[in-house]
Amino acid sequence: MTVGFEDNEQFVRQFITEFEEHIEAIEIKLLEVEENIDKNQSLNPETINSLFRSIHTIKGLSGMLDFNQLLDFTHVWENLLDNIRKNKQEISIEIIEVSFRGLDLLSKILAEIKEKRSDKDIKVTDIINELENIFFDNDLESKELNKANEYFNKLLDIFKNNLLDAEKEKLINEIENKSNIYQISLFLDKNCFEKDISYLSTCINLEFLGEIINISIEPSSIPSLNNFDPNIFDLQVFILFSTSDNEDRIYKIIKNREIKVNRVLFENETESNEDNLLISEKEVSDKIIDNNQKKLPTQNNIRVEIKRLDSLLSLIGEQVISKNQLDFISSELLDALGNKNNLSVDKNRLHLIAENFKEIMSTFSRLSNDLQQTVMRIRMLPIGNVFNRFSRVVRDLAKDTGKQIDLIIEGENTELDKAIIEEISDPLIHLIRNAVDHGIETPSERKSKGKSEKGILHFNAYQQGNGIVITIRDDGRGLNLELIKAKALEKGLITDDTQLSENEIINLIFEAGFSTSNNVTQISGRGVGMDVVRQNIINLKGTIDVETKLNQGTTFIIKLPLTLAIIQALLIKINNQTFAIPLSSVIESYRAKPDEIRLVNNREVLKLRERILPIMYFHDYFELEKSKNDNPYLYIVVIGIAENRVGFIVDKLVGQQEIVIKPLNDPLVRIKGIAGATLISQDVVLIIDTISILLDSKSYKTSNIN
């Protein structure tokens, strides 16, 4: 019976979380084992034990929650792993391949369960057959024999001693086919061989109903010759019979007053009659399936290290102390001030109170910062969670493309915000696909170039300032700049006389629909990808850069903030209103004289060092009136993504500050070019969405300026 989600929602949610973790763990272990086999290394027994434990746990949990397909499947898998860990069977590539297919099925079942359905629609027979086929049991014969003997022991002696081998086999088959097994004892009176009520007809009718496995006469029931009296003798016959029908039918067929029918019960069978037959599967599922069934809300939780929670509690404790101290100061102050009509005040005492207050506020401020940091850290997860998933992706891609790839992962303990981790996965996978499909060459091609047949794919992550840097490097073909230029020309992105730096050429790959690949593979090549990758990274307030060398390889360098919730910002003023610009977008700030701004092709530009920088007023973008400004200088904030730069003129630079981003999700308050808001000294400060403005701006390409 499928679990009722309304009743068990909490347990199902917990199950999903654990199931996800186990799937990840299984993948890691399988990859480990495969690597051991590839490299002819000895297998760490703990790896197999770990696999076994994961499957065993999933099996147990699925049983509790009636996910029966999952239960059946993991039961068989568990048996196989148990065999391996007990050295009854060796691990092999075949087992690994089947296990990976099993893993994919686990993911499929997880997705199904997450959709708030049962797992009953998932087909597991194929994988079960595969697992059973590779399951090797030395003791199978004796196991079967033991099982058979268990069955035979439940029979009357007359059958135990008289079954032929073929009959034994038939009996086992019938039992395993879930037929009812009956032992029929029949006294055939002298007339029962009369042709009109022939015993033979009875036998034939029984054969229609089921299967006669054995008929036996008990020798001890035959009197000795001297004692034989035909007038009182009735021949007793024993019939071992299997049928899916119940015994009432047998009584109807054997019209004999001296008949005994008893059903033999095997393995967890219980007596049942027709009335207690299970209702049909359809009826069960009809009961459970609710057309209005809602999707199970997405599990949005996080595992937190106990020590981080302890830190948090400790800080909160200290803050409570500070709060109490402030309360005391407050009382002291009131006391020192005395009656409001009292004009004389002890200044020394006030001074002392003020000093104490300042000290406590300093402590309070430190505690607030520490608290903030600790809570932020609770949201942090190691990027290894993402990298480890890539191992499987790379493995499968390598197999699909016939390439050999050595995957090196570094910096997996580098942490970043959970929200970012969740969003960065897809862009990174796309970059990996490109690296495998376009970057790394086939073994033969690599050999002809004097490279090792095995290509290298290197992931790294490290903290840099307030952000994190992720690099994906391959030692493959590298980007062909000539090819990129040619393609850009073909697509009309550039003209023949467009002057482009090497970086600008490389960045053309981020244009929508751009692909230099002539082959659209299942993996990549459609040109729908790099622009999406870049946009996703931009949405995370990050940047992406590329370094490449022909025939030596390509490196993608992604910079992301540690968290999306708190950022460093540059505060600026526009029309006496304070705005915040995320510092990650700010290249530099510059103070220019008005006459430094030139008009070229109807666009305002500034020559900044050797670079021509397009200029625009923030006022123009937000359609604000430019207030009269007596300042002889223009304050320009240069913002940029990769090679793209724009200088925005603001009224005033206020300073740098760490701010907490509050998103503006209400459609009524969503403003173009505004990423969110923050609170600074009781004032609401809008946070500028510089990246959108940059992309929106028609004049953002420096290459368009002649």
Partner 1 sequence: MFFDSLKLNEKEHLIRINNEIDNNLCLALKEEVINLVSNKNIFIRINLEKTDFINTAGIGLLLSIHFELQKLDGKLIIENPQTYLNDLFEATRATKYLLIQNNNEE
Q: Which residues would be at the binding site for partner 1 (CB under 8 A)?
A: 162, 188-193, 195, 199-200, 203, 214-217, 219, 222-226, 228, 230-231, 233-235, 237
3-state secondary structure 187-246: EECCCCCCHHHCHHHHHHHHHHHCEEEEEEECHHHCCCHHHCCCCCCCEEEEEEEEECCC
Q: What are 508's two structure tokens? A: 């053309």
Q: Which helix (H) or strand (E) holds 26?
A: helix 5-38
Distance CA 65, CA 113 (A): 11
In terms of CB distance, is 159 or 622 closer to partner 1? 159
Q: Could you tell me if 655 and 586 are in contact, meaning their C-beta atoms sit under 8 angstroms apart?
A: no
How many C-beta atoms lie closer than 10 Å to residue 433's C-beta?
21
Q: Supply the minimum distance, in Å, between the C-beta of residue 190 and partner 1.
A: 5
Q: Could you tell me if 97 and 127 are in contact, meaning their C-beta atoms sit under 8 angstroms apart?
A: no
Q: Supply the minimum distance, in Å, between the C-beta of residue 137 and partner 1.
A: 35
Q: Supply the minimum distance, in Å, between the C-beta of residue 223 and partner 1.
A: 6
In terms of CB distance, is 33 or 158 closer to partner 1? 158
Distance CA 83, CA 75 (A): 12
* Residues 6+ away with beta carbon under 8 Å from 270: none
Residue with tokens 């004999």: 256
* Residues 6+ away with beta carbon under 8 Å from 17: 299, 301
In terms of CB distance, is 55 or 212 closer to partner 1? 212
Distance CA 31, CA 222 (A): 70
In terms of CB distance, is 84 or 239 closer to partner 1? 239
Distance CA 548, CA 553 (A): 6
Q: Could you tell me if 698 and 684 are in contact, meaning their C-beta atoms sit under 8 angstroms apart?
A: no
In terms of CB distance, is 170 or 534 closer to partner 1? 170
Q: Could you tell me if 87 and 34 are in contact, meaning their C-beta atoms sit under 8 angstroms apart?
A: no
In terms of CB distance, is 231 or 665 closer to partner 1? 231
In terms of CB distance, is 73 or 199 closer to partner 1? 199
DSSP conformation class of 308:
H
Phi-psi map region of 563: left, alpha, beta (phi>0 left; psi -120 to 50 alpha): beta
Q: Supply the minimum distance, in Å, between the C-beta of residue 238 and partner 1.
A: 9
Q: Supply the minimum distance, in Å, between the C-beta of residue 200 and partner 1.
A: 5
In terms of CB distance, is 242 or 374 closer to partner 1? 242
In terms of CB distance, is 200 or 624 closer to partner 1? 200
DSSP conformation class of 586:
E
Q: Supply the minimum distance, in Å, between the C-beta of residue 249 and partner 1.
A: 20
Please give the single-letter amino acid code of residue 316: I
Q: Supply the minimum distance, in Å, between the C-beta of residue 171 and partner 1.
A: 16
Q: Supply the minimum distance, in Å, between the C-beta of residue 260 and partner 1.
A: 17
618 phi/psi in degrees, rounded to 5 = -60, -35
In terms of CB distance, is 214 or 311 closer to partner 1? 214
Q: Supply the minimum distance, in Å, between the C-beta of residue 152 and partner 1.
A: 18
Q: Supply the minimum distance, in Å, between the C-beta of residue 222 and partner 1.
A: 5
